[in-house]
Amino acid sequence: MKNQIFFFNLVPSWIIILMPALLISGPFLSDLGLSLVAILFLINSIKNNLKKYYNNYYFKFFFIFCLILILSSLLSDNILISLKNSLFYFRFGIFSLCFWYLLEKNLFLLKYLFISMLLCFSSLIVDGYIQFIFGKNLFGYALINDYRVSSFFGTELILGSYLARFFPILFALFIFLDEPKKNKLILFFMTIVFILAEGLIFISGERLALFFMNLSAVFIILMIKKYKIYRLWTYILSVCLIIVLMNLFPNSKERFVDKTIYDFTRNTDDKVYIFSKPHNDMYITGYRIFLDNKFFGVGPRQFRNTCDQDRYKVSKYSCETHPHNTYIELLSEAGILAFLLVAGLFILICYLSIKHFVFKFIWDKKGIINDFEVCLLSAILISLWPLSPSGSFFNNWMSIVYYFPVGLLLWQRTKSKNSIK
């Protein structure tokens, strides 16, 4: 019995608690940890007959999606290479189920996860601003291109993405744990963390991360009730900090303002492009690939092996490892069925959000989701946002980030339904 508790409860719990730190270390340890959590939960499910975690719309939806990916790989020109990404994709969904299961068994997980994320954010803030001010961080990593901050991520420019995507989850945990106590000291400390984290997203130089920060902030401010004023003021103060940084350090302004305008109009014929000419040409290439492979695409992670063919190529910018948009990638690599499943999920989130807003703030009735769920939905919303460039949907590091809030949301929704019953 003790061995079961250790392997099926304690080990996966601590892996999840440490996952924010593992993601900072890179893709290897984070993917290894996630895979171990998924394997242990599958064994636990068989031994203890945990059917309820699989008998729900989420898992059925996810199972169909996995089957489409595997079939897409089997029909691709590079079956073995493509199967490396699709055959074990199920581990991400199982990770979310295990997260849900562990939260029902050990509610202490939320407190320790909050502490873990807070330590990660605090460490990145201290190290990031040291790198910004002195040119090198605590490990000796220099600024990228003389002004872009990467902190512990080194040469990987994903600091802003990490902070922007985990910010709504950290805020969700904060309001969940703080609400019963309303501790003023904790409130003050978290205010500093939130403001400096959003400033750090700006000096990371990641335009997409800054956009996601603003998108999630506006979404949360519009949708929550109890911490609405608090989130509004932290957001206003962080915007003020960003304006100050923009005026003090022209390089940052040049990237976010001048370069953005240049990217939209980059060419001698003064054409306007979707985000930039490289993005525009990759999207056209991805769409052309989809037209020849409508139902199942060319296989997950196979855009890179197809985009340089003459009938798909638009320009020298057409070919990359992925087309830099989630939905173009799904269309070209997995086909219309996978696209419709993910797009349908995004539309469902939008529908629930609008319904909640109308019920709670226009009709003055009880909303359909609570503040904790609003923050988690905002984390998922920015991951599925269609009108922006994005990382590869099938990237392991990015997939962990995508699925991390799902387990929290599944647990909370089940808890809310049970309380209503």
- State in Å, rounded, how far the first CA of the chain is from the last one: 32
Range of 208's domain?
Answer: 2-258+332-420
298 found inside a domain: no
299 found inside a domain: no
279 found inside a domain: no
d(CA 41, CA 100): 11
User: What are the C-alpha distances in Å from 226 to residues 131, 175, 232?
Assistant: 36, 9, 12
Per-residue model confidence as pLDDT tens digits over 243-298: 998 888 777 666 666 666 666 555 545 667 787 888 899 999 999 999 999 999 99
379 found inside a domain: yes
142 found inside a domain: yes
Task: State what percent of residues in the chain have pLDDT above 90.
Answer: 73
In the predicted structure, residue 36 carries a pLDDT above the cut 50 = yes
Whether 392 and 386 have beta carbons less than 8 Å apart is answered as no
Q: How confident is the model at residue 8 (pLDDT cuts 50, 70, 90)?
A: confident
The DSSP H or E segment spanning 5 is helix 2-5
User: What are the start-end ranges of the E strands in 97-199?
Assistant: none
| Nearby residues of 216 by Cβ (< 8 Å), 6 or more positions away | 164, 167, 168, 378, 379, 381, 382
d(CA 202, CA 382): 17
Looking at residue 31, its amino acid is D
Task: State what percent of residues in the chain have pLDDT above 70.
Answer: 91
pLDDT number for residue 1 = 59
pLDDT number for residue 237 = 96
Q: How confident is the model at residue 104 (pLDDT cuts 50, 70, 90)?
A: very high
How many domains in the chain?
1
| Nearby residues of 253 by Cβ (< 8 Å), 6 or more positions away | 246, 247
More confident residue, 266 or 39: 39
d(CA 171, CA 121): 12
Per-residue model confidence as pLDDT tens digits over 143-166: 988 788 999 999 899 999 999 999
Whether 177 and 116 have beta carbons less than 8 Å apart is answered as no
d(CA 172, CA 112): 14
Per-residue model confidence as pLDDT tens digits over 43-72: 999 999 999 999 999 999 999 999 999 999
Q: How confident is the model at residue 181 (pLDDT cuts 50, 70, 90)?
A: low
250 found inside a domain: yes
What are the beta bridge partners of residue 142?
136
Task: At 90, list the tokens.
Answer: 């199920």
195 found inside a domain: yes
Question: What average pLDDT does range 72-90 have in this prediction?
Answer: 93
Mean confidence (pLDDT) of the chain: 90
Backbone angles phi, psi at 10, to 5 degrees: -70, -50
Q: How confident is the model at residue 359 (pLDDT cuts 50, 70, 90)?
A: confident
The DSSP H or E segment spanning 50 is none
Task: At 223, list the tokens.
Answer: 């949708």
305 found inside a domain: no
